[in-house]
């Protein structure tokens, strides 16, 4: 399901630059919101139904450090840092959209299945309003940072014996049976809010369209929303070309990569080959294949937005790549050493840039925006294991997933509790 607008009856903006003026009215909460200040581009809600908690105040930061790491020229790489959202991930962009709709239909309870960030976001919006949050998580499949948020914000947390794909199937059944409002990205109003990530990228590029957007792919909500944003801006005559979009899967959860790049599945104006998808999924069932990656946020084998993701690729000249956990963690360490902290899934975008640059698909002088979807503190376990000098911790967390070396580890220095020894160590290392 898609949200469509009859632009003939609405008043879309005549130029994107006009949005800049909204900032001068930031004492009004809806103009302060980095999502709702663009609401003329997704005008489905009454202002009175909107709950904003300051989402979308995010940064698009130039990173020459990451440019160097990925083989790009200086001043060409920008990182769209969605970790700055109230719940620490891009999900708040969409959650505020879904929440507006939930209020429009008078929902009292809202549910999601989650690898952690959707549940954190839902929990925080529910805590700030009078809706009750119900979250479904797979067992042992959620990082502590995210679980902590759901528990702390008071969500009813249902841990089922299974993974995310199982939890998503169940939450859809349960929501239907109990009449609970579902906020997974299958909900089209979520995607309307997530379109604004692209408006903010355009704003950071002074309303010029960059050459590439790189985004991690899990359930493909972002990939779908970004494509829709650009398709609509084209239709409205507000931009004259779409950027190319690269969706980056983790190698341990690479359904989209397999279907698009290996099996040639294409959108074909909506007539995509469903039989190809069905047979791929049956294959997963038959071999009992489970997604497995350190990037737990994108540990998903059955993306619900697969068709819309295909639409994005067709309309935006897209590509899909997969990156290993080794590549993800090395990229994450480099992003952090350059000054922005993200969780493993987010670093897939930068690892994907490095790969596409090495393949010559992205030119060194093209302008790119990598989306950093979630905050570094969401998943401290992966980070500490990477930097740790403790081989047991490394092996248990990363080694078993094929990570061989922490190429950019920053190890803690062990020193005796002795002033001279401490001073000596500092002289050696800094």
Q: How far apart are CA 354 and CA 254, in angstroms?
A: 18
Residues in the chain: 430
Strands 77-81, 368-372: parallel, antiparallel or unpaired by DSSP?
parallel
Q: Is 298 in the site for ligand F0G (CB under 6 A)?
A: yes
Give the residue with the Cβ less far from ligand F0G, 171 or 242: 171
Q: How far is the CB of 290 from ligand F0G (least distance, A)?
A: 15
Which one of 138, 188, 217, 338 is in contact with ligand F0G (CB under 6 A)? 217
x/- contact string, 368-387, with ligand F0G (CB under 6 A)?
A: -----xx-------------
Q: How far apart are CA 230 and CA 197, in angstroms?
A: 11
Which residues are bridge partners to 244 per DSSP?
A: 212
**Burial class of residue 71 in the structure, from the number of CB atoms within 10 Å of its CB (0-12 exposed, 13-18 middle, 19+ buried):** middle
Which one of 33, 87, 143, 346 is in contact with ligand F0G (CB under 6 A)? 346
Q: How far is the CB of 378 from ligand F0G (least distance, A)?
A: 7
Q: Which residue has the tokens 């020193």?
A: 415
Q: How far apart are CA 215 and CA 221, in angstroms?
A: 10
x/- contact string, 301-340, with ligand F0G (CB under 6 A)?
A: ----------------------------------------
> Of 254, 345, 261, 348, nearest to 303 (Cα)?
254
Do the Cβ atoms of 122 and 146 come closer than 8 Å?
no
Which one of 86, 193, 218, 252 is in contact with ligand F0G (CB under 6 A)? 218
Q: How far is the CB of 217 from ligand F0G (least distance, A)?
A: 5
Residue 110 has phi, psi (to 5 degrees) of -135, 145
Q: How far apart are CA 359 and CA 199, in angstroms?
A: 29
Which one of 33, 87, 93, 222 is in contact with ligand F0G (CB under 6 A)? 222
Which one of 330, 343, 366, 382 is in contact with ligand F0G (CB under 6 A)? 343
Give the residue with the Cβ less far from ligand F0G, 58 or 114: 114
Which one of 93, 185, 255, 376 is in contact with ligand F0G (CB under 6 A)? 185
Q: Is 84 in the site for ligand F0G (CB under 6 A)?
A: no
Q: How far is the CB of 403 from ligand F0G (least distance, A)?
A: 19
- By CB under 6 A, how many residues form the interface with ligand F0G? 23
Helices (H) and strands (E) in the chain, counts: 16, 10
Q: How far apart are CA 330 and CA 325, in angstroms?
A: 8
Q: Is 114 in the site for ligand F0G (CB under 6 A)?
A: yes
Which one of 33, 87, 96, 118 is in contact with ligand F0G (CB under 6 A)? 118
- The count of other CB atoms within 10 Å of the CB of residue 3 is 15
Footprint on this chain of ligand F0G (rule: CB under 6 A): 89, 91, 114-118, 185, 216-223, 297-298, 343, 345-346, 373-374
């Amino acid at each position: 399901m898609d949200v469509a607008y009859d632009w003939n009856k609405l008043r879309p903006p005549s130029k994107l630059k006009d949005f800049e003026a909204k900032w001068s009215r930031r004492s009004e909460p809806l103009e302060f919101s980095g999502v709702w200040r663009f609401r003329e581009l997704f005008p489905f809600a009454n202002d009175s139904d909107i709950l904003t908690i300051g989402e979308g105040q995010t940064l698009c930061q130039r990173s020459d450090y990451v440019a160097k790491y990925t083989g790009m020229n200086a001043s060409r790489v920008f990182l769209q840092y969605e970790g700055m959202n109230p719940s620490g991930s891009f999900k708040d962009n969409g959650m505020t959209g879904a929440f507006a709709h939930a209020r429009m239909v008078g929902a009292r309870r809202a549910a999601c299945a989650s690898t952690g960030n959707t549940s954190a976001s839902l929990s925080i919006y529910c805590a700030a309003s009078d809706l009750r949050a119900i979250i479904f998580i797979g067992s042992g499949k959620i990082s502590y940072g995210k679980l902590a948020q759901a528990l702390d914000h008071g969500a009813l947390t249902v841990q089922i014996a299974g993974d995310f794909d199982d939890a998503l199937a169940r939450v859809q059944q349960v929501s239907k049976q109990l009449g609970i409002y579902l906020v997974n990205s299958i909900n089209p109003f979520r995607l309307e809010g997530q379109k604004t990530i692209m408006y903010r990228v355009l704003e950071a590029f002074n309303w010029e369209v960059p050459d590439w957007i790189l985004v991690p792919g899990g359930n493909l909500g972002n990939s779908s929303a970004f494509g829709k944003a650009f398709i609509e801006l084209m239709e409205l005559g507000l931009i004259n070309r779409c950027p190319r979009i690269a969706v980056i899967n983790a190698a341990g959860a690479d359904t989209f990569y397999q279907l698009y790049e290996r099996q040639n599945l294409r959108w074909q104006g909506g007539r995509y080959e469903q039989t190809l998808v069905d047979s791929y999924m049956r294959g997963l069932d038959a071999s009992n294949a489970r997604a497995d990656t350190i990037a737990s946020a994108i540990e998903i084998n059955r993306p619900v937005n697969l068709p819309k993701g295909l639409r994005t690729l067709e309309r935006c000249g897209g590509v899909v790549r997969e990156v290993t956990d080794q590549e993800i963690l090395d990229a994450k360490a480099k992003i952090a050493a350059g000054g922005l902290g993200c969780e493993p899934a987010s670093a897939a975008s930068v690892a994907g840039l490095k790969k596409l640059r090495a393949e010559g698909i992205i030119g060194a002088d093209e302008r790119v925006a990598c989306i950093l979807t979630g905050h570094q503190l969401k998943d401290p376990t992966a980070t500490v294991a990477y930097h740790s000098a403790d081989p047991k911790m490394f092996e248990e967390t990363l080694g078993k997933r094929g990570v061989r070396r922490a190429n950019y580890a920053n190890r803690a220095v062990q020193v005796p509790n002795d002033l001279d020894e401490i001073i000596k160590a500092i002289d050696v290392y800094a």
